Amino acid sequence: MTSQLVDVNISKKFSKMDVLNDISFTVQENEFLVIVGPTGCGKTTLGNILAGIEKPTTGHVRIRGEEIDPHIHNISYVFQEPSCIPWYTMIQDVTMGLTIRGDDKTKSVARGKEVLKLVDMVGFEDYYPWQISGGMKQRVAIARAYATNPDFLIMDEPFGHLDAQTRYLMQIEIMRIWGQEKKTVVFITNNIEEGVYLASRIIVLSKLPARVKAEYKVDLPRPRDLTSPEFLKARAEITKECEVVE
Amino acid sequence: MTEKRKELFKTVGYNILSLIVVGILWTLFSHWQHSPFFPTLTTIWKAFVGLVQYGDVEHIGLGAHIWASLVRIFAGFAAACLLGIPLGLALGLKPKFYNRTRAILEPVRFIPPIAWIPMAIVLLVGFSRYVFLIWLGAFFPVFITTLLSVTRVNPVHINVAKVFGAPRWYIIRKIVIPSVLPDIATGMRVGLGIAWMCIVAAEMIGGEMVGVGRLILKYAELIRMPEIIVGMLVIGVIGFFMNEVFIVVERWVFRWRSEVSID
């Protein structure tokens, strides 16, 4: 049975501007929750707050009832921007979380190789970021996020910088990885199709100041077919919700 | 690889060619001028040989002059780096502290080293005078580039470490410092150039009769252009080679940077 892992109830203001307006939702264990919202609605701010690197103005993010804190909780975050560390080789990069945690070196390297295999990057252990493509960098960022076996994994538009084709391949990839190593995921995107393809559940945000506009359960079997009538129906429904102007 | 080598040969070849062109122009001009104040290349060469073989008017050889200046440059430059880099890092990490104290440091930057000469003469003696003046010139480029580069560290890289619960020292050691090192190296290269530019001023007040700057001053009193030009060229050429060595080391140390490794 699923149990609730994360409990979110936050508002965020920058000086006097409301960015997140009383956003509240919960995330179930091993759920793939997708948050969709228009560009510039504060999605990245939401991601940063979920990851504990930014504080909400009011409210809380709790993991198993405890205030979120990267020093205590095992969180991983895949950033929207390319985030590979330029002076780290791929293996150093993916084992970074383990090194910070103080894990045994040989074990870390073994786990590093395992996650590089998971994202199909075997043989790139000693490459530097400038030697690989943008799509590969994003795979490494995902591998790095998986390496620590996080309890809670946040992905903020991880494929936003990729071309449409690579993006599509990465969506298939992320589903394969999630199938192999189940994790509690919050996936933030502005792409409804991507959301419907990935999500167990979708939360739709409004434009600035963002609030939760609607919530959908996506019950389609995986792997999903982007052109099946059920898929298109779900997509149309959510698109319509996004178009509603208040 | 061969492509790279070809390019290197071409670069060196063209540099030699342009040197030859300048040499020819110089020769033409000096013959046309026919003045002791614009000596020919042969006269300069003879002055160089004379300085190496017999030394200057006080029989101090060119080698001794160069060595004395090198020691002073390195001492002043090392002092500038030892102070400028940690201070730049510390103030870069605490921008509030810097902003609230910048009225102390910033004005000092604009006072030319030569203006410090009277104070240096009164307050300092011997070797410390050289070190002080060279330090003055080299410190600010090193300090300012370090300071500014800290504020330009990519916040995503810091956040990556933060999400994994990295302690502050880890972020400073593994993220901030590696990311600012290339900028610090650039600052050091600029600082080294300015250190050389201060050598004449430093040796003006150092008291000792040895040093390339001193050599120029000695022959300036005698209005002997060939030896003065030898002194100038020595400074230029040594500075040039130091810079080249610096660049090679930089490329190797920062081979993770695409900008450097691609060419």
Domain map (residue ranges) of chain B: 60-258
Mean pLDDT along residues B77-91:
96
Structure tokens at B167: 């302690």
Which one-letter amino acid corresponds to residue B198? C
The interface pTM score, or ipTM, of the predicted complex is 0.89
Do A146 and A63 lie in one domain? The reply is no
Report how far residue A157's alpha carbon sits from residue A81's, in angstroms, rounded to the nearest whole number: 9
CA dihedral A126, A81, A48, A94 (to 10 degrees): -10
**What's the confidence (pLDDT) of residue B262?**
39
In what helix (H) or strand (E) does residue A219 lie, and over which residues does it extend?
A: none
Asked if residue A131 is part of any domain, the answer here is yes
How big is the A-B interface in CB pairs under 8 Å?
A: 61
In tens, the pLDDT along A68-90 reads 998 889 999 999 988 999 999 99
Do A14 and A89 lie in one domain? The reply is no
Please tell me the total count of domains within chain A. Answer: 2
Do A121 and A94 lie in one domain? The reply is yes
> Residue A7 pLDDT more than 80?
yes
Sign of the CA dihedral running B13, B18, B22, B27: positive
Which one-letter amino acid corresponds to residue A182? K
Contact B144, B88 (CB under 8 A): yes
For chain B positions 233-262, those within 8 Å of chain A (CB to CB) are 256-258, 261-262
Do A112 and A67 lie in one domain? The reply is no
Do A3 and A89 lie in one domain? The reply is no
Lowest mean pLDDT across A1-5, A6-10, B208-212: A1-5
**What's the confidence (pLDDT) of residue B263?**
37
- Output the CA–CA distances (angstroms, integers) from residue B145 to B91, B142, B251, in the order listed: 12, 6, 18
Do A64 and A91 lie in one domain? The reply is no
> Residue A19 pLDDT more than 60?
yes
In tens, the pLDDT along B117-174 reads 999 999 998 899 999 999 999 999 999 999 999 999 999 999 999 999 999 999 999 9
Nearest CA of chain B to the CA of A59: how many Å? 20
Residue B169 at interface with chain A, using a CB cutoff of 8 Å: no
Do A66 and A100 lie in one domain? The reply is no
Asked if residue A223 is part of any domain, the answer here is no
Report residue A156's pLDDT band, with 50, 70 and 90 as the boundaries.
very high
Nearest CA of chain B to the CA of A81: how many Å? 7
Phi, psi of A220 (to 5 degrees): -65, 145
Do A101 and A21 lie in one domain? The reply is no
**Domain B60-258 coded CATH 1.10.3720.10:** yes
Asked if residue A195 is part of any domain, the answer here is no
Report how far residue A171's alpha carbon sits from residue A234's, in angstroms, rounded to the nearest whole number: 18
Do A28 and A86 lie in one domain? The reply is no
- The residue among B110, B174, B109, B192 whose CA lies nearest residue B147 is B109
Contact A95, A149 (CB under 8 A): no
Mean pLDDT along residues A44-66:
91
Percent pLDDT > 70 in chain B is 97
Report how far residue B67's alpha carbon sits from residue B78's, in angstroms, rounded to the nearest whole number: 16
**What's the confidence (pLDDT) of residue A1?**
46
Asked if residue A228 is part of any domain, the answer here is no
Phi, psi of B216 (to 5 degrees): -60, -45
> Residue A97 pLDDT more than 80?
yes
Which chain B residues contact residue A127 at CB under 8 A?
A: none
**What's the confidence (pLDDT) of residue A58?**
92
* Minimum-distance CB partner of A97 among B159, B164, B261: B164
Do A63 and A92 lie in one domain? The reply is no
- The residue among A33, A59, A62 whose CA lies nearest residue A195 is A33
Which range of residues forms the domain containing residue A96? 82-153+161-186
> Residue A244 pLDDT more than 70?
no
Do A134 and A178 lie in one domain? The reply is yes
Do A93 and A166 lie in one domain? The reply is yes
Which chain A residues contact residue B166 at CB under 8 A?
A: 100
**What's the confidence (pLDDT) of residue A2?**
64
**What's the confidence (pLDDT) of residue B260?**
43
Report residue A105's pLDDT band, with 50, 70 and 90 as the boundaries.
very high
Structure tokens at B26: 């110089």
CATH code, domain carrying A166: 3.40.50.300
